[in-house]
Chain A
């Protein structure tokens, strides 16, 4: 951490999120503790990333889901579980006989936030901030005089905060919950659309592209021992080694985002691998 100034526990607004990390000019993004310097503004949680993510997700995930999500966090590579070479959304030599785990880790964003994975800058979404004094910096500055304390009870605030720190899954879950309660909630709707768009890009990027063809790499008797739900089981049954991701989304009958997420999970668990379409 060095002498880097740690901000208060105020979450950054959209403008502060760096979406350019995937640019070839730059290395992987950094977070405190990541061991890499960067002059880019970053959100620094006041606690270790894993603990931070756990706290953030606590509202939307069951303990089991949380455990699963954290076990799949991209920086936690366990050889026994993840065939990392294929699962990693990075530039690794397909033909290399072995791989350098440290090199892989360097290419992986060391944050728990899914924001670290998207490759295209998300469409900025208009936040309902006042004309004056509503910018992200003002929000931080304002904290000196009138401390702004996140109100966990207010789902709108939580949704914005989660979006701002790149927890798009969490923000989406809240937005959808809000829309169930009040379908005319324009802000929730905007967040929902934006989150879906970003998550779709993220998941697609993790899978390589929608034209890639997933192939089951585990034997049928091994698959039975995985912890999958019936939706994952169904999607896995659609993976035939011929159909592309796009085609699988078409036949799944699921929401595209759900199907992409499940495919990403299957990829991360080493159940499937991605190949270019022949």
Chain B
């Protein structure tokens, strides 16, 4: 059976999991961490950095480090979110050739899907290293509010990364899946997800036969752990300024260290009541001496600094419950997702609001990836009884007179599906109507996402309201939306097929796939070389250590001199291969080096 990995492609961190022998497991990366920062950077030398290493240089190389690409994925250049990001991002966001969004890093512009693909590729490598076999299939999670274009862009990212994304699922659904794994539950739950960069609250209904329905979802895409870090940084910077009259923000190196230290302190304060931030030599004073930053911070201080942030999440929860017309006591359990929910103050506030203690049975950083892995396993294992349904993430409809949105297919409708509604003209003698196909939940059409448009002409001239037009929406099993409009009197008909698009053409995607493959080949070859180099270095060091002793021993015999000369040649060739970064040559010399080392050891041992 082919392995399917589950990937939580987060705004700030990503996580990969797999079901092994029936147990969902998170796969740690090479550094031993179970989450990997969703960050990509290009160094001055043109080298690609992904994950922790990219995060560690995010401030010192801010212009060429992409973070929170998820906020941009699948969005159009003209969208307000993109306009906002252009103003606030440290990296350059430019318009793509199809009205899409591109990110300029050094001398190349990348599509957002390409950037996300780099993160997904890293997760794929983590899984492959762990499993020791290639991985092709994946289930990837996205926020419940993602529209079809954003989902398609995420799928494209998977494809570019060399993954077949067999299903895209909602993050809260994945969390609920992991929460309910093996329990056969039927209940209403709330998923409170406070991650690194975003906050989401979702109310889900876990129904019979494994049907997970998102009843309501809301959030703030600019509220997360980074805001908590920023408060600590502000506090430290102000304290240092008061003491030394130096603004640490003016120095990127100092700011990078502050950011790392603030995040570390924040995490520590979830388990201890006080911690110390110690940053020696953080900046040089004008008198050619380096200054240290040493400051204790208590949990109480952190809570005071971030009180309003926690309160904002609770306000969103309140509003979501109101919108969903739900009482707090109807929610039977609360699942906490995201690293920030480890903060005791957050847990207390959530417990106070929902009037119940949150569930402690799930790991906040891992639960989404675990849910994705569970779904991946269910999709490929016929024995598993869980039925997982594809639903429309958002309502589909058309724009009507007065810029209102008329819904035809409601949110969370199981696909395939088809719905029809009759509309009429809004003006006298109107001979044509424009059908604007939209997706979203807002009653104002302009607040929703436009998927496409077409015009139905040849209508009978008649007073307004007399011509009847039948509009049909159909979604097939592949998620392709067809919309048709028919003049019921004349039979005149027009239709449009809407397919979600990431803004990339097929050719572009193909090119990006090739480029990603090339990168992987280079990377694997570089890793091969590094492995060989490390082995060779150890052997060379040992041989060189023994050399003087061996020389003394064998100096008297021709055979010995010959052996020593040969050993010298092997050492020289190995060093040459290392200088030339020639993995093949180096690998071929490892055996010779090992033989030499064994021989030298033997000689030295015998003479002792």
Q: What residues make up the interface of A, taking CB atoms closer than 8 Å to B?
A: 24-25, 64, 91-94, 120, 208-209, 211, 220, 223-224, 228-234, 236-238, 242-243, 247, 250-254, 256, 276-277
B284 engages A252 (CB within 8 Å): no
A-contact bits for B529-551, CB 8 A (1 contact / 0 none)? 01001100110010011010000
CB distance from A140 to the nearest CB of B (A): 32
Q: Which residue of the partner chain, among A91, A94, A223, A247, contacts B53 with CB atoms under 8 Å?
A: A247
Do the beta carbons of A276 and B280 come within 8 Å of each other? no
List the 4 shortest-distance A-B pairs measured between CB atoms, nearest first: A233-B281, A253-B60, A234-B253, A251-B57
For chain B residues 543-597, which have a beta carbon within 8 Å of chain A? 544-545, 547, 568, 571-572, 578-579
Q: What are 9 pairs between A and B in contact, CB < 8 Å?
A: A24-B572, A209-B533, A230-B253, A230-B290, A231-B253, A233-B290, A236-B280, A247-B53, A253-B60
Partner of B571, one of A24, A237, A242, A252: A24
Residues in A neighbouring B428, C-beta threshold 8 A: none
- Residue among A223, A230, A250 making CB contact with B49, cutoff 8 Å: A250
A255 to chain B, nearest CB (A): 9
B544 surroundings in chain A (CB, below 8 A): 24, 91
Known: A208-B537, A228-B281, A230-B282. 14 other contacts (CB 8 A): A64-B288, A120-B579, A211-B533, A220-B280, A224-B280, A230-B283, A233-B282, A234-B254, A234-B257, A234-B281, A243-B53, A250-B47, A253-B252, A253-B256
With A120-B579, A229-B284, A234-B257: A251-B290 Cβ-Cβ less than 8 Å:
no
Q: Answer whether residue B31 sits at the interface, using C-beta atoms and an 8 A cutoff.
A: yes
| Residue pair B280, A223 in contact (C-beta under 8 Å) | yes
Judge whether A211 and B281 touch: CB under 8 Å.
no
Contacts of B281 in A (CB 8 A): 228-230, 232-234, 236
Q: Closest CB of chain A to B174's CB: distance in Å?
A: 30
Please provide the chain B residues from 220 to 278 with a CB less than 8 Å away from any CB of chain A in the complex: 251-254, 256-257, 260, 278
Asked if B572 and A251 sit within 8 Å, CB to CB, the answer is no
**A residues in contact with B31, CB < 8 Å:** 242
B279 beta carbon closer than 8 Å to chain A: yes
Q: Are A228 and B290 in contact (CB under 8 A)?
A: yes
Question: In the complex, which residues of chain A have a beta carbon less than 8 angstroms from the beta carbon of B547?
Answer: 24, 91
Smallest Cβ distance from B289 to chain A, in angstroms?
9
Residues of B in contact (CB 8 Å), total 42
A24 interface neighbour in B57, B253, B291, B568, Cβ under 8 Å: B568
Per-position 1/0 for B354-385, Cβ under 8 A of A: 00000000000000000000000000000000
Chain A residues near B251 (CB-CB < 8 A): 230
Q: How far is the CB of A229 from chain B (nearest CB, A)?
A: 5
Q: Does B292 contact A (CB under 8 A)?
A: yes
Residues of B within 8 A of A220 (CB): 278, 280
Residue of B nearest to A235 (CB): B253
| In contact, B278 and A211 (Cβ under 8 angstroms) | no
B534 touches A250 (CB 8 A): no
Residue of B257, B290, B291 near A237 (CB, 8 A) is B257
Distance in Å: Cβ of A92 to nearest Cβ of chain B? 8
In the bound complex, what is the Cα–Cα distance between A223 and B530 (angstroms)? 32
CB within 8 A of A253: which of B253, B283, B284? B253
Looking at A64, A233, A247, the one whose CB has the most chain B CB atoms below 10 A away is A233
Query: What 1/0 mask marks residues of chain B from 18 to 59 whose CB sits below 8 Å from any chain A CB?
Result: 000000000000010000000000010101010001001100
B313 CB within 8 Å of chain A: no
A209-B278 Cα distance, complex, nearest whole Å: 30
Closest to B575 in A: A119
Interface flag for B411 (CB, 8 Å): no
Query: What is the CA–CA distance of A219 and B252 in the complex, to the nearest angstrom?
Result: 25
In whole angstroms, how far apart are the Cα atoms of A233 and B278 in the complex? 12
The docked-state distance in angstroms from the alpha carbon of A272 to that of B534 is 20
Q: Whole-angstrom distance from the CB of B430 to the nearest CB of chain A?
A: 63
Q: How far is the CA of A238 from the CA of B45 in the complex (A)?
A: 19
Q: How many Å lie between the Cα of A209 and that of B535 in the bound state?
A: 13
CB-defined contacts of B252 to chain A, threshold 8 Å? 253
The answer on a CB contact under 8 Å between A230 and B284 is yes
CA distance A231 to B544 in the complex (A): 35
In the complex, the answer to whether B60 meets A209 with C-beta atoms within 8 Å is no
How far is A250 from B43 in the complex, measured between Cα atoms in Å?
7
Query: How far does the alpha carbon of A93 sit from the alpha carbon of B537 in the complex, in Å?
Result: 14
Decide if B425 is an interface residue (CB 8 Å cutoff). no
Let me know if B61 is at the binding interface, CB within 8 A.
Answer: yes
* Residues from chain A with Cβ under 8 Å of B284 in the complex: 229-230
Contact in complex: B254, A25 (CB < 8 Å)? no
Q: A230-B284, A242-B31 are in contact. Are A91 and B541 (CB under 8 A)?
A: yes
Task: State which of A234, A256, A276 has its C-beta within 8 Å of the C-beta of B534.
Answer: A276
Complex Cα–Cα for A232 and B292 (A): 13
The CA of A28 and the CA of B251, in the complex, are separated in Å by 43
Q: In the complex, what residue of chain B is closest to A276 when comparing beta carbons? A: B534
**Residues of chain B within 8 A of A243, CB atoms compared:** 53
Chain B positions 277 through 311: 1 when the CB is less than 8 Å from some CB of chain A, otherwise 0: 01111111000101110000000000000000000
Given A91-B544, A232-B281: A250 touches B568 (CB 8 Å cut-off): no
Contact between B53 and A250 (Cβ–Cβ < 8 Å)? yes
Kindly provide the distance from the CB of B304 to the nearest chain A CB, expressed in whole angstroms: 27
In the complex the two chains form, what is the Cα distance from A91 to B61 in whole Å? Answer: 37
Residues of B within 8 A of A247 (CB): 53
B283/A250 in contact, CB under 8 A: no
Contact check, B533 vs A224: say whether CB atoms are below 8 A apart.
Answer: no
B residues in contact with A209, CB < 8 Å: 533, 537, 578
Expressed in whole angstroms, the Cα–Cα distance for A211 and B253 within the complex equals 24
A105 CA to B366 CA, complexed, in Å: 54
Decide: B53 and A234 in contact? CB cutoff 8 A: no
Q: Nearest residue in A to B260 (C-beta to C-beta)?
A: A237
Contact A230 B254 (CB under 8 A): yes
Report B-chain residues with C-beta under 8 Å of the C-beta of A238: 56
Q: Which residues of A contact B49 (CB under 8 A)?
A: 250-251
Does the CB pair A234–B256 fall under 8 Å? Answer: yes
Which of A229, A237, A238, A254 gathers the greatest number of chain B CB atoms within 10 Å?
A237
Bound together, the chains give a CA A237 to CA B251 distance in angstroms of 15
Beta-carbon nearest neighbor of B569 in chain A: A24
The minimal Cβ–Cβ distance linking A253 to chain B, given in whole angstroms, is 3
The residue of chain B having its C-beta at the shortest distance from the C-beta of A119 within the complex is: B575
Residues of A within 8 A of B288 (CB): 64
CA distance A250 to B578 in the complex (A): 20
- Asked if residues A276 and B290 are in contact (CB atoms below 8 Å), the reply is no
Distance A250 CA – B547 CA, assembled complex (angstroms):
36
Report the minimum CB–CB distance from B575 to chain A (whole Å).
8
